[in-house]
């Protein structure tokens, strides 16, 4: 298949591209390289991969480049949940409007299939833990979640209106190789510069679920191969969750460090932070998929990756 991957030079996108190329598909990566990196694609540079530098807000360029493809993996996004309130328009532009541009280009180019990474953040602070896909209608607590919810709605309405087909995945936080932001990144960066103490947002008791990026990719392809509704929505996460304090301990044990932990103390790390994200993944496991890497292993793999790629730390 001829696959168009927005954000294909990013963390999850580039791991997805690896898999598409391994499966012998033709791939076009469309990325503005704001957080993605050409080096993430270097191991797979070959005939079947085309890389285009472009921005999804440039709808004319996007439209031209999308021509001739059969499926779109729309993985470009502003994924920075935490700083949403400092830039209230960013999620709207880079997620909602960008997704609209992708859908419009697909409609005009008669491309009918889209794969979209959404987020567990759209459940807000659900009363149901673990949270299933058909949880009660949520109240949004972050601009990031609100923007991804808007994207889901747009995709669903396009499927209804223009006979498209979509696979929407609500992710927990993803860990692993090419990871470039999030709490493991922040903690590792802090410990690299001052190994004797660690500043922790919140009280460390926030419960979060994490999924290793290769499990995430395998889940996406498993669902693509086994589900065929016009709108297919799946949670992708791990069986369980950990506390932020757990991941700190795993990291410190691995690094042989014993830093002073300096908590800011609230039950949330920041405004809009959800103190408990744990998704019900039974809809996926009933299809025969399951995660193979524990959260602890995922954290350690991520730290190992950051150790071996110190230049990543300089990028932010």
CB of 303 to a second copy, least distance (A): 31
Nearer to a second copy, 92 or 255 (CB): 92
Give phi and psi for 166, each to the nearest 5. Answer: -135, 150
Handedness of CA 197, 263, 77, 232 (dihedral sign): positive
CB of 140 to a second copy, least distance (A): 4
Nearer to a second copy, 33 or 162 (CB): 162
Question: The tokens 């700083």 sit on which residue?
Answer: 83
List contacts with a second copy (CB under 8 A): 84-85, 88-89, 92, 96-97, 100, 103-104, 107, 123-124, 133-143, 145-147, 149-150, 152-154, 156-158, 160-162, 231, 233, 271-272
Nearer to a second copy, 92 or 287 (CB): 92
Nearer to a second copy, 138 or 275 (CB): 138
**For residue 115, what are the contacts with CB-CB under 8 A and spacing of at least 6?**
71, 72, 73, 74, 166, 167, 169, 220, 224
Nearer to a second copy, 176 or 272 (CB): 272
Pairwise CA distance, residues 30 & 213, whole Å: 20
HEC assignment per residue over 18-41: HHHHHCCCEEEEEECCCCCCHHHC
CB of 117 to a second copy, least distance (A): 17
Assign residue 314 a region: left if phi > 0, alpha if psi is -120 to 50, beta otherwise? alpha
Nearer to a second copy, 168 or 312 (CB): 168
CB of 51 to a second copy, least distance (A): 29
CB of 205 to a second copy, least distance (A): 20
Tokens encoding 58: 């440039």
CB of 271 to a second copy, least distance (A): 5
Pairwise CA distance, residues 158 & 143, whole Å: 22
Length of the chain equals: 316
């Amino acid at each position: 298949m001829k696959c168009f991957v927005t954000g294909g030079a990013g963390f999850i996108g580039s791991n997805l591209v690896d898999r598409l190329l391994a499966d012998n598909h033709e791939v076009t990566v469309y990325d503005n390289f704001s957080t993605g990196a050409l080096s993430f694609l270097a191991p797979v540079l070959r005939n079947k991969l085309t890389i285009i530098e472009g921005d999804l807000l440039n709808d004319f360029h996007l439209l031209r480049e999308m021509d001739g493809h059969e499926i779109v993996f729309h993985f470009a996004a502003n994924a920075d949940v935490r700083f949403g309130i400092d830039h209230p328009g960013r999620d709207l532009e880079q997620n909602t409007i960008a997704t609209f541009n992708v859908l419009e280009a697909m409609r005009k180019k008669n491309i009918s299939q889209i794969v979209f990474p959404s987020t567990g953040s759209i459940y807000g602070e659900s009363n149901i833990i673990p949270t299933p896909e058909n949880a009660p209608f949520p109240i949004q607590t972050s601009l990031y979640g609100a923007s991804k919810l808007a994207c889901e709605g747009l995709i669903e309405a396009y499927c209804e209106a223009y006979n498209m087909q979509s696979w929407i995945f609500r992710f927990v936080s993803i860990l692993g190789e090419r990871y470039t932001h999030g709490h493991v990144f922040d903690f590792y960066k802090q410990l690299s510069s001052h190994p004797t103490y660690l500043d922790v947002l919140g009280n460390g008791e926030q419960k979060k679920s994490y999924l290793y990026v290769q499990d995430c990719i395998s889940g996406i392809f498993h669902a693509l191969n086994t589900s065929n509704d016009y709108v297919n929505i799946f949670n992708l996460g791990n069986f369980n969750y950990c506390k932020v304090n757990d991941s700190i301990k795993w990291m410190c044990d691995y690094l042989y460090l014993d830093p002073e932990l300096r908590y800011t103390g609230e039950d949330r790390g920041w405004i809009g932070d959800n103190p408990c994200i744990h998704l019900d993944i039974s809809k996926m496991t009933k299809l025969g998929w399951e995660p193979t890497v524990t959260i602890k292993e995922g954290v350690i793999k991520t730290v190992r990756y950051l150790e071996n790629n110190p230049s990543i730390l300089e990028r932010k």
